[in-house]
Chains A and B, each alone.
Chain A
Amino acid sequence: MYLSTVRPGASDKGAPARRFVAGNVLALGLVSLVTDVSAEMVTAVLPAYLVLGLHLSIAQYGVVDGLYTGATALTRLAGGYVADRFRLRKLVAGLGYGLSAAAKLGLLAAGAVPGAIGAVIAVDRTGKGLRTAPRDALITLSSPADGLGRAFGVHRTLDSMGAFAGPLCAMAVLALAGSGQSYDAVFVASFCAAVLGVLLLVLFVRDRRDELPPVRASLPRAFGLLRDGRFRGLCVAAVLLGATTVGDGFVYLILQRRDDLPVWTFPLLAVGANLAYLLLATPLGWLADRIGRWPVVLGGYTALLAVYLLLASGHGPLPVILGLYGLFYAATDGVLMALAGPLLPAELRTSGFALVQSGQALAYLVSSVLFGLAWQAWGVPVACLVAAGAVAVALPVSGILLKGRTS
């Protein structure tokens, strides 16, 4: 249904403000949808595979989970710089999508050797690191400033449709393959979806090379963005909040253990959270454009605080926890980028997004490792209380940083 509304160049020549969102945003959303089917097929089975299958300890899992996200901070910056410097956002994003596709085949070759799996995941996340900032830059460059929340909302809705369908596809593949452990079949199907995502990008996404002022992007100028107090405040807030986020895998593992869920239902936890994300991303993006973006972001982290407290207590119905977790993502992921967009000059927008996302990724690396250790040393309730305490401290500080400093 989306194909018919996606015309290359629509956002260039048409009047984006008259549409709900630009065609290019829809095209990017479609690419993200297909790619996320691919990515979530793998990530939905990975924590269970690593911890329950390969018997990694929780602390080891924390290192794997955090390291491979945090380690991509540099590739994010590099991707952002190259995309701005040579205005090749589509190419850099395409490379990122391509790397992740190749990584799916790598998982096949890695077998059950933890080190090799780790390396392949690193390649996959590098691809994600490369593509995220150029993609978000293309979204902002294709949308009017007052519709950024909406544009990101629609994009993240399409994105999370893929994230919603991915685990279901993984379960369908496992069922069709006739064994709950046919990970190779999941990886191959995931690879096919990833290739389709790259192809859709090549076919339908338009780069925005023509409308930019002829100013050359450079690394000093990219980092010079941090001299702007408003953007610096946003980056600090993003890092602070990122440091309180412990990673989906942990949340799902805690729930799996708490309710003693059969292993095969593990991917369904991601489906539940993604359903909430999917339903809430567009309304919350629209709301953010109306009432202001920072209150929505802070509301999202309040939901995260509630999730940690519920996990610490060991109580709370599973759907409520997953719903709050999806709400957290819907209220923060795209909205934070919509907050950052207007603070960044067009020619350095990818670099700016990359800076924010790198900061978040590094903070996430630290928090995942620490959370894994805390879990192992003190158990789930104490570790979750510590995480909740961190959110409780970060919330007011971020509130001050975000409020007033951003439009």
Chain B
Amino acid sequence: MKWRILVALTATVVLAGAALGYVWFTRPAPATASTLSLAGPGLLVRSDGVLAVIGPDGTKRASNLRCARVYAAHGTGVCLREDVGAYQVTVLDADLKAKRSIPLNGLPNRARVSASGRMVSWTTFVTGDSYNGGQFATRSGILDARDGTLAGNLENFTVQEGRPNQDANFWGITFAADDNRFYATMSTGGHRYLMEGDFAARAMRQVKDNVECPSLSPDGTRIAYKKMLPDRTWRLTVLDLATLAETPLAETRSVDDQAAWLDGATIGYGVDKGVWAVPADGTGTPRLLAADAESPAAL
């Protein structure tokens, strides 16, 4: 009997040691010292597959973070990161240290942070990677990075004056200044609606038809979005929320991106493998901000 107890005790110690050892030695290494900062000023982009910051002087500094999509505001960053065979949403602090990671099912597509840095959102494609035709589905989630509240799937929100949620897909979230209201696209029955959501109430209501990938202006009065034209290309357009008046922007190429407000009067977006900017009032011409870059966010 004694030898049995001895074996059991020894095994307990060895196995506990093995478990603790694994847990301890696989702790994520602290992010390598980086001179990059999300504190700004500058332009955050994805370039050559990694998160990079373009300074006011035009120099581009790359990090070692591989991201499919990036965004940042007020010292909080988000990186839709590719691990082996899987994606994660990683929330970053101003020094690019990972604060939290959430596994993602699907291909990363959109990412946003509210102006205060508190709310983080993302969208993934669940099946297929083309939504210009055929079947596709998206998942959009929101994380309150301050208290950890997670809404992993907008499909669980109630939709007023809308159809039941079953065939609905949501994407392209953008946050209002109160960190509770947000806008997003809902696709259902062949239409893509602009939805206004309430995070605390887990509810959304329809605002307007044919609005995709909204981006709310810093003053909260206008929405920049991609409007689908009859030939199924997209035209960057700004919607005045008070009057619902639409202003097509000077960019005439088809832009498949969630635009970002670089300031109250300028829209940034990725097209043709570069980050471009165009005035928000429909005047002017597009200008190239950064070649070989995408996924812009003003820091």
A interface residues, Cβ below 8 angstroms from B: 3, 7-8, 49, 51-58, 111-114, 173, 176-185, 188-189, 191-193, 195-196, 199-200, 203-204, 257, 260, 262-264, 376-377
B16–A52 CB distance below 8 A: no
A111–B84 CB distance below 8 A: yes
Chain B 159-180, CB-CB to A under 8 Å as 1, else 0, gives 0000010100000000000000
A51 CA / B105 CA spacing, docked (Å):
10
Partner of B5, one of A3, A54, A184, A188: A3
A55–B153 CB distance below 8 A: yes
Of B17-25, B112-120, B256-264, the stretch lying at the interface with chain A is: B17-25
A114 CA / B22 CA spacing, docked (Å):
24
Chain B 120-131, CB-CB to A under 8 Å as 1, else 0, gives 000010100000
A188–B104 CB distance below 8 A: no
Chain B residues whose CB sits within 8 angstroms of the CB of A181 once the complex forms: 88, 100-103
Q: Could you show 11 A-B contacts with beta carbons less than 8 Å apart?
A: A51-B153, A53-B102, A111-B83, A112-B86, A177-B26, A178-B28, A179-B28, A185-B26, A189-B23, A195-B15, A196-B11
Partner of A55, one of B12, B88, B105: B105
Partner of A188, one of B23, B139, B153: B23
Min CB distance B123 to A, Å, is 11
A196 CA / B13 CA spacing, docked (Å):
10
A8–B1 CB distance below 8 A: yes
Chain B residues whose CB sits within 8 angstroms of the CB of A113 once the complex forms: 85-86
A199–B7 CB distance below 8 A: yes
- Say yes or no for B150: interface residue by CB 8 A criterion: yes
Partner of B22, one of A3, A55, A185, A203: A185
Closest CB pairs A-B (n = 3): A112-B86, A262-B148, A192-B19
Partner of B23, one of A51, A185, A193: A185
**Are A196 and B86 also in contact (CB < 8 A) when A189-B22, A262-B148 are?**
no
Chain A residues whose CB sits within 8 angstroms of the CB of B147 once the complex forms: 262
A193 CA / B5 CA spacing, docked (Å):
17
Chain A residues whose CB sits within 8 angstroms of the CB of B7 once the complex forms: 199, 203
Chain B residues whose CB sits within 8 angstroms of the CB of A184 once the complex forms: 26
A28 CA / B7 CA spacing, docked (Å):
17
Min CB distance A349 to B, Å, is 27
B interface residues, Cβ below 8 angstroms from A: 1, 4-5, 7-8, 11-12, 15-16, 18-20, 22-24, 26-28, 83-88, 98, 100-106, 124, 126, 139, 141, 147-150, 152-153, 155-156, 164, 166
A199–B22 CB distance below 8 A: no
Min CB distance B186 to A, Å, is 16
B4–A203 CB distance below 8 A: yes
B155–A262 CB distance below 8 A: no
Number of A-B contacts (CB under 8 A): 116
Closest chain B residue, CB of each to CB of A379: B158
B11–A199 CB distance below 8 A: yes
Chain A residues whose CB sits within 8 angstroms of the CB of B18 once the complex forms: 188, 192
Chain B residues whose CB sits within 8 angstroms of the CB of A179 once the complex forms: 27-28, 98, 100-101
B19–A193 CB distance below 8 A: yes
Min CB distance A51 to B, Å, is 7
Partner of B148, one of A3, A182, A200, A264: A264
Min CB distance B167 to A, Å, is 12
Chain A residues whose CB sits within 8 angstroms of the CB of B28 once the complex forms: 177-179, 182
Chain B residues whose CB sits within 8 angstroms of the CB of A7 once the complex forms: 1
A112 CA / B86 CA spacing, docked (Å):
6
20 additional contacts (CB under 8 A) given A183-B103, A203-B4: A3-B5, A8-B4, A52-B102, A54-B104, A55-B139, A57-B155, A111-B85, A112-B103, A112-B104, A113-B86, A181-B88, A185-B26, A188-B19, A189-B20, A189-B22, A192-B15, A195-B15, A199-B8, A263-B150, A264-B148
A112 CA / B11 CA spacing, docked (Å):
31
B103–A54 CB distance below 8 A: yes
Chain A residues whose CB sits within 8 angstroms of the CB of B102 once the complex forms: 52-53, 181
A200 CA / B9 CA spacing, docked (Å):
10
Chain B residues whose CB sits within 8 angstroms of the CB of A111 once the complex forms: 83-86
Chain A residues whose CB sits within 8 angstroms of the CB of B98 once the complex forms: 179
A53 CA / B19 CA spacing, docked (Å):
24
**Are A55 and B104 also in contact (CB < 8 A) when A192-B19, A195-B15 are?**
yes
**Are A262 and B11 also in contact (CB < 8 A) when A53-B103, A112-B105, A192-B16 are?**
no
B27–A177 CB distance below 8 A: yes
Min CB distance A232 to B, Å, is 41
A55–B23 CB distance below 8 A: no
A52–B152 CB distance below 8 A: yes
Chain A residues whose CB sits within 8 angstroms of the CB of B20 once the complex forms: 176, 189
A193 CA / B179 CA spacing, docked (Å):
43
Min CB distance B255 to A, Å, is 27
Partner of B24, one of A53, A58, A176, A376: A176
A188 CA / B22 CA spacing, docked (Å):
7
Closest chain A residue, CB of each to CB of B152: A52
A51 CA / B155 CA spacing, docked (Å):
12
Closest chain A residue, CB of each to CB of B143: A263
A58 CA / B165 CA spacing, docked (Å):
12
A49 CA / B88 CA spacing, docked (Å):
12
A185 CA / B105 CA spacing, docked (Å):
20
Chain B residues whose CB sits within 8 angstroms of the CB of A200 once the complex forms: 8
Partner of A203, one of B8, B15, B88: B8
Chain B residues whose CB sits within 8 angstroms of the CB of A3 once the complex forms: 5, 8
A187 CA / B87 CA spacing, docked (Å):
19
